[in-house]
Structure 1
Amino acid sequence: MTTGEVLWALRAECPIPARLSPHADRVQQWLLGLLPELGLPLDEAALHRLARGGFARYAGRLYPDASEADLRVLTALFTWFFLVDDACDGPHRLDPAQIRALRDGTLALLHGGPRLRHGGLTGPLRRLLVLAWREPRRRMPARWRLRFADAVARHLDGTWREAVNKETARRPSVGEYVELRRETSAAEVSYPLVEFVSGRPLPDPVYHHPLLRQVARTGNDLLSWYNDIASLDRDRATSGGHNLVLATQAEWGVSTAEAVDRVAERWRESMRQFEALRAAVPSFGPALDEAVTDHLDGVAYAVRGTIDWTLESARYPTNA
């Protein structure tokens, strides 16, 4: 099977139903009007690429019940993370010191608010994050804001470690890569946003319950490994081995096709585990069960939404 055929086969096997916000396409048009106003250097070709990337549709698949106003917030946040990803992983990528400064500047804004400035986060990226963070900062309690900022810190720390590996030509083993990928994927950043949409933040002991953490970690693996198969052609040239297919190929000395098959089979096994884990989550009482269900659904939508968006977005070589 070709890589594309594997991606479509895994989509057909995914038991999670697909959903999409009815506001997604309108919010995508809003985004395309917003970005030039923030000072991003976007010519017509760049705007076309952003339009075909469909970041609002990605957010709309992960948060299908969000209001149109909240989907704008989520789309702005998603766009910020994709722009940061491009800055850290593109042909003119930031070096590790610059990524560390970006991390520090981002956390200064998330913790201290828009009046606190830091040299690591400036210009259009800062303006976009200020805009995107305004409503979550206003509406959500301090414990949620801290949890979200901690997730962002872990993501950017992982991005920094990957950059260090690339600079030193260090290729991770499969085990090392799986752990690092859980940070660089930003899935853990997306999970608290379920509570922003629902307005029902989970208490920390529930959010960090071992079984819920295992569900979240397995969902993270599923969306990350699917993405690795989709981005294989691009990553082969730019990732320095930071792709589960490439790490599997190197560790086991197999062909690319065999490595893709092994990753796909690992994905299938993790999907079976994911479904069993979700079914095993206990009741936390009538005051919390609805919020817990929202959280579990949000993790599942992140998996299925990543699959569907990957197959429609021009961000990946098979759809460009």
Structure 2
Amino acid sequence: MSLNTQTLPRLYYPFEDLISPYAAQLEAETKKWIYNDYAFLPEEIKQKYDHTNAGYLMARFYPLATFEQLIPLARFSLWGLTFDDYYEHQNSQQIRLLRKRVMAILQGAAPLPSENDLFPQLATMRDELSKLMPPNWMARFTISMDKYIEGMELEAPYKATLQFPSLQEYMAIREKSVDVYPLIDFVELVTTHALPDEVVHHPIMQKIAALTCRMIAWCNDYFSVQKEQGRDIMNIILVAQHEYNLSLEEAYAAAVHIHEQDLEAYLQLTAALPDFGNYNEQVQQFIYYNGLMIQGHKSWYEIDTRRYGKGGHPEADRFR
């Protein structure tokens, strides 16, 4: 039975929908990196990334950023997509070793001659970010990256066996593996205000960050499920369908309902923030920019990318 996508419940955000005036320029820069700095990728994979429009993703995530700020962010966007695609089917032990290397490079180590182009690109991104942000922010960004690869490590056994986790297990893992904690850190880069650790680590701000990760994860799953059917099980729609024995349409509705609950919780928290004293204005600015990012992610899927269209996503076996 074919799925009538016109009748599916839609995702909605009450945030502004903006795009950077540098979008085309940023995308052109990203395409240069694909063909010049990722020599280890087969040509057909490069062409798929050419149609992904990773530069437009950052132009929508951070529409008010300067071009200088957008360069390391776009580098991260392309790096993250490639890293995830290239290593997503590694086993837990292999990902654990990757995790150690990524942490070492972010903390100052040099890439090894034997490592592929992802590692020099990571070092370049580290150096670009270090010029823009203070050491305490870099330390937090490194922790966020560690969470991301920890999420990949936790996903690995399920991907290897195609055995579904429970819905609750999946949601806990996906909050990390969706790779959004680093993107939330980037909001501070764009606002040019690195918030103090005591603000960022406040329980309410931590909950806002977690809900941001969750909503972007469910949005990603919403648009990618047709690509993942039959080859992956780490998708909230497929997990819900399996756990509750739902039709695919019912599973979409269940996932959208979870998304709506998270959005409502997010809006309630951001409407009643605690008093952060001298940082109140900066926190309000952070929340506004964070909303732009959440909205921009959905708009990228709807307008800019062919990543989850037919033939738009690289298959793992084609990397070799």
TM over 0.5: yes
Change (3 A) 1:43 1:252: closer
Change (3 A) 1:4 1:317: farther
Which ranges in structure 2 are unaligned for 5 or more consecutive residues?
Answer: 313-320
Letter in 2 for 1:2: N
After superposition, give the CA deviation of every residue in 1:198-237 in whole Å (9 maximum; x if it has no partner): 2211111100111111112112211111111211112222
Out of 5, 8, 16, the position equivalent to 1:6 is 8
1:194 aligns with 2:187: yes
After superposition, give the CA deviation of every residue in 1:41-83 in whole Å (9 maximum; x if it has no partner): 4566444422321111111111111111211110001111110
Alpha-carbon distance in 2 for matches of 1:36, 1:227: 26
Contact 1:4 1:318 in 2 (8 A): no
After the TM superposition, which of the residue ranges 16-25 and 275-284 deviates more from structure 2?
A: 275-284
Quote the offset at 1:168 in angstroms. Answer: 4.1
After the TM superposition, which of the residue ranges 24-33 and 162-171 deviates more from structure 2?
A: 162-171
Cross-structure match for 1:309: 300
Change (3 A) 1:260 1:101: same
Alpha-carbon distance in 2 for matches of 1:57, 1:267: 24
Cross-structure match for 1:82: 81
Q: Compute the TM-score of the two structures, normalised by the length of structure 1.
A: 0.89
Cross-structure match for 1:237: 230
Quote the offset at 1:238 in angstroms. Answer: 2.0
Alpha-carbon distance in 1 for matches of 2:130, 2:207: 28
Contact 2:208 2:269 in 1 (8 A): yes
Quote the offset at 1:169 in angstroms. Answer: 4.1
Give the number of equivalent residue pairs: 309
Change (3 A) 1:318 1:229: farther
Quote the offset at 1:283 in angstroms. Answer: 3.3
Which ranges in structure 1 are unaligned for 5 or more consecutive residues?
Answer: none
Out of 235, 248, 257, the position equivalent to 2:240 is 248
Quote the offset at 1:180 in angstroms. Answer: 0.4
Out of 255, 273, 278, the position equivalent to 1:281 is 273
The RMSD of aligned alpha carbons is 2.2
Higher relative contact order (CA 8 A, sep 6+): 2
Change (3 A) 1:207 1:302: same
Letter in 1 for 2:292: Y
* Percent identical residues: 25
Letter in 2 for 1:96: S
Cross-structure match for 1:205: 198
Q: Compute the TM-score of the two structures, normalised by the length of structure 2.
A: 0.89
Alpha-carbon distance in 2 for matches of 1:212, 1:319: 39
Letter in 1 for 2:97: A
After superposition, give the CA deviation of every residue in 1:262-297 in whole Å (9 maximum; x if it has no partner): 111222222222211110113312x31232123212
Alpha-carbon distance in 1 for matches of 2:41, 2:57: 21
Deviant stretches of 4+, over 3 Å:
1-7, 41-48, 116-119
